[in-house]
Structure 1
Amino acid sequence: MSNATSNDLFDTPCDNDYSLEMTRFIVQKILVPFITSIGFVGNLLCIIVLTHKSMVSSTNCYLTALAIFDISYLILSFTLSLKHYAVVKSLEAYTYWYPYARTFTDICSNVSVCLTVTFSLERLIAVCYPMKGRVICTPQRARFITLLVVTFAVISTFPEFFEMKTVRIKNNNTVVLKNTETDFAKTDAYKIFYYHYLVLTFTFLPFILLSTFNGILVRTVYSAMRIRKRMTNSYSSNKQNARRQAEQNRITIMLIGVVIVFLLCQSPNAALILYLTYLDSNDMLLTACEANNVKIAGNVVNMMVLINASINFILYSAMIEMPEKGKNKRKKSSEGETPRPKKTNKEQIQAINSRGLYRKNTIDSDSIIAAISNKSGMQPGIPYPTAMSTPMTNPAMHGLYPSGVKHSQMGATSKTGTRSKAGKSPMLI
């Protein structure tokens, strides 16, 4: 912020000099290290969880990339705040590093903005067009789009590397290092066209897009929740679809929260940039007190951007749900209870034969083995080594079937084990 008004400052003392020093002390020396530490640990944990093999999804790819660039932004911003320490500022290595650190910080910030817009658009497609979303929103495509976004942000911000240069200046028979603007940065083309391009591309356009996407998402999620509530009350058996829809809504609500936090934290920065752009376009100069007020505001809005990069992991945590191992498998027996031994195919054949569950006396063991094989996961048609080759008899005197009922009417199936129109299990009633 101070770079935009560096030519407008005066060395005359001002009434708000003390306020500026106190703001710098509180923000740069107390809050910045605290916020950076919390954000670094939180984003690092989110990266570890989101990169787990069971968490692979297109949304998580975008969130992982966003967390990586948020960590980078936090670290680089912390190095920039070290200039308020006299010991660090006097180091030649830090003087050479400062111009590059500032550009790298802007790159990370611009990438984060683009990623926020990208996953908002991805979520909009997934929610409003679910059938197309399953084809478009894939992890492979998300990685490719992330690479394109990072490349675009780096190329757009790359000219900032030529904004400043480090020179040696003699002062009272001593040579000191100082960072000054280059001739390239002083040209009208750079000040007017490139600066306005950055402001439009990474500030105002993302605000418009995110506000539009967020409004559509909020309306869509609200409508989906109302529909799901009616369907749940009408069809209690459709629990699986209800859970899937609830999961999608939870992810969407989390992303809406990320966008809202982004808009709240970035709005003051956008307002200050708009104000400085207005001053620059009208060649208006600032007094010393006004310049100090701009610097105070710059410290505050930069801290809010830092907060935005630090608290996203809280919203990620609301979405993250590690899948349980063996969730789709059968539940194991309770502790202390001896599980029942699983019967072999031969024992099942004998049990079925003894209960007289078959209508005809000519049902051979191959048909029974085919039915049991389909139930237990074996391939039908493969000979079972212990199967009997003689037809099995069915004690008709048990009276399990009424007279005159054909076997085909009792839900009989073919050897492939498919269910008949009667809806019965293969070969069993």
Structure 2
Amino acid sequence: MSNLTSELTTAAPTADPGLAAMVSDTRFVIQRVLTPMVMLVGVIGNLVSIIVLTRRRMRSSTNSYLTALAVSDTLYLAISFTLSLKHSVPGISHPDFRIYWHYWPFGLWLIDAASNTSTWLTVTFTVERYVAVCHPIRGQVYCTESRARKMICIVYLFCFLVTLSTPFEWEIAERLNHKTNSTEMTAEFSELGMLDEYRHAFYVFTATMFIFLPLVLLAIFNSFLILAVKESRKQRAVLCSGESQSQRQENKITIMLISVVIIYMLCQLPHACMLVYLAVTGEVDSWTDEFQVRRILGNIFNFLMAINAACNFVLYCALSDKYRKTFLVTFCRCWYQPPAGLPSGIPTAYSNVSDFSRTGSPRSSCSKRSSVRSQRSLNGARGASVRGRTGSPPDHYLGVPGSRGGDSQGLLEASGGPAPAGGRGGPRRARPPRLPPLPAWLRFGRDGKARRHNIVITTPDGSQEEGVTAV
């Protein structure tokens, strides 16, 4: 990776003045104009994504991967901007900038490691999404936040360790420029960097592990995801005359991740093709026209990789409703007022519905015990009405819209249907209309007094909310 970058960007004399001028113009436009703009927009967008994706209501295994991807992309953009100063700042080769030149080999290592980390994070969340969509039962076990954090740590450690030899491929020296009769700082290959066996082995390993293998895996699993989304829409169009809200949210998340992968592949494929071409043709002399063409293409392909690291924020805003709402609540609170969790005009009914947690977090144990107590209280209270007759209301209850708030209110069985209004031997009243399914926002109470429960609720898009307060 670093050898390719050096070969494509290091200046050399050419026999064709037109190509030399094109190289200079391309470098000026990309490294002095476009790269700083993309870096600024990308860093700000990735920092915003990190803040939004780490909000409590956005927590999920998929968002953990996207947060880690935003971190690696931010590192890539920042380091690539510092490396571009070598060709964009006049007089930077002066010995006064000695600190920058000693940093430069380590900058190559960081940029390679960050790029490789972004690559394998894209692969891991694509595989995770494939398991969650195509094998949902296994996804309940494997697609958890704790496993996502472990995989993120493994990917970061692996990518940074396998590229650790990059700084040792270079050595910084001071050389006399005979044209200007002044001393200049320069980066040259060290003995390790000039060792043919090492260069060949490292080149084959990085090209296979960080470019070709990820592209093949992404193409395979992305195809499965696209087919799964199409099949899901066809089945629900036939059976249910449309998609449910939860399935619609799942498909939106999948489509967003598919878009991230497609953009990545489009930006990485030119670089992969260049690597194949270099492997077949080998190195050329620096004074040839082909070398100048390689430098021009290298600048363009490196800029495409910078665009890929900066554009994910735009995709999240365009394709994720929850991301947009969380962004507005976090950064535009003065202009955006989120809808209330439970409008006062909507009546409530009582239900003994157990909460659930997709990730199997230990924090859900309290909510499960609370649901058990709620069910016992409801079973004991079924002989009396909730309001207007003898007996007491259920000890714990969930407020849901759909019943009438004036007189007595219906109890829901564990299956979701209404329970009898009277006792076992009492008169049976007319069945109230079936209540709608429980929404994701649930409010808990006890005897009309506000109370806070440690309950984790998983919303249809996979995020979690906890600590719901009673009304």
Task: Name the TM tier (shorter chain).
Answer: 0.7 to 0.9
- 1:348 counterpart residue number: none
- 1:133 counterpart residue number: 139
- 1:147 counterpart residue number: 153
- 1:276 counterpart residue number: 278
Matches within 5 A, 1:310-321: 310-317=310-317, 318-319=319-320, 321=322
Residue 93 of structure 1 pairs with residue 99 of structure 2: yes
The Cα shift of 1:137 comes to: 0.3
The Cα shift of 1:284 comes to: 5.2
Letter paired with 2:71: I
Distance 1:182 1:261 in 2: 36
Cα shift readout 1:221-253 (whole Å, capped 9, x = no counterpart): 1000111222322xx8xx8xx111111111000
Structure with greater strand share of residues? 2
Cα shift readout 1:77-118 (whole Å, capped 9, x = no counterpart): 111111121144432222111111111111100000000000
- 1:118 counterpart residue number: 124
Distance 1:195 1:5 in 2: 15
- 2:229 counterpart residue number: 221
Residue 308 of structure 1 pairs with residue 320 of structure 2: no
Distance 1:5 1:422 in 2: 72
- 1:261 counterpart residue number: 263
Letter paired with 2:42: G
Choose the corresponding residue for 2:395, options 372, 378, 382: 378
C-alpha distance 5-139 of structure 1, shift in aligned 2 (>3 A): closer
Computing the radius of gyration from Cα coordinates, the structure with the larger value is: 1
The Cα shift of 1:315 comes to: 1.5
8 Å contact from structure 2 (residues 15, 288) kept in 1:
yes
Choose the corresponding residue for 2:44, options 38, 41, 44: 41
What secondary structure does 2:164 align onto? helix
Choose the corresponding residue for 2:72, options 65, 69, 74: 69
C-alpha distance 373-265 of structure 1, shift in aligned 2 (>3 A): farther
Distance 2:140 2:417 in 1: 33
TM-score by length of 1: 0.75
Matches within 5 A, 1:354-393: 368=384, 376-378=393-395
Distance 2:285 2:195 in 1: 19
Q: Percent identity?
A: 32
Q: Which runs of 5+ in 1 are unaligned?
A: 341-364, 381-412
The Cα shift of 1:10 comes to: 4.8
CA RMSD of aligned residues (A): 3.5
Structure 1 runs of 4+ off > 6 angstroms? 5-8, 323-328, 369-375, 417-422
Residue 187 of structure 1 pairs with residue 195 of structure 2: yes
Distance 1:320 1:421 in 2: 32
Structure with greater helix share of residues? 1
Distance 1:115 1:82 in 2: 28
8 Å contact from structure 1 (residues 8, 287) kept in 2:
no
C-alpha distance 6-38 of structure 1, shift in aligned 2 (>3 A): closer
The Cα shift of 1:211 comes to: 0.5
Distance 2:203 2:249 in 1: 42
Q: Which runs of 5+ in 2 are unaligned?
A: 330-336, 349-380, 398-410, 430-471
The Cα shift of 1:185 comes to: 1.3
What secondary structure does 1:15 align onto? helix
Cα shift readout 1:58-81 (whole Å, capped 9, x = no counterpart): 000000000011111111111111
- 1:289 counterpart residue number: 289
Letter paired with 1:211: A
8 Å contact from structure 2 (residues 13, 287) kept in 1:
yes
Letter paired with 2:420: K
Distance 2:177 2:37 in 1: 37
What secondary structure does 1:16 align onto? helix
Distance 1:420 1:70 in 2: 46
8 Å contact from structure 1 (residues 39, 74) kept in 2:
yes
Choose the corresponding residue for 1:332, options 337, 341, 344: 344
Distance 2:91 2:416 in 1: 84
Of structures 1 and 2, the one scoring higher in RCO (CA 8 A, sep 6+) is: 1
Letter paired with 2:270: P
Distance 2:235 2:63 in 1: 27
TM-score by length of 2: 0.69
Choose the corresponding residue for 1:248, options 250, 254, 272: 250
- 1:161 counterpart residue number: 167
8 Å contact from structure 1 (residues 47, 67) kept in 2:
yes
Letter paired with 2:316: Y
The Cα shift of 1:366 comes to: 11
C-alpha distance 290-14 of structure 1, shift in aligned 2 (>3 A): farther
Letter paired with 2:140: R
- 1:107 counterpart residue number: 113
What secondary structure does 2:173 align onto? strand
8 Å contact from structure 1 (residues 2, 294) kept in 2:
no
8 Å contact from structure 1 (residues 70, 309) kept in 2:
yes
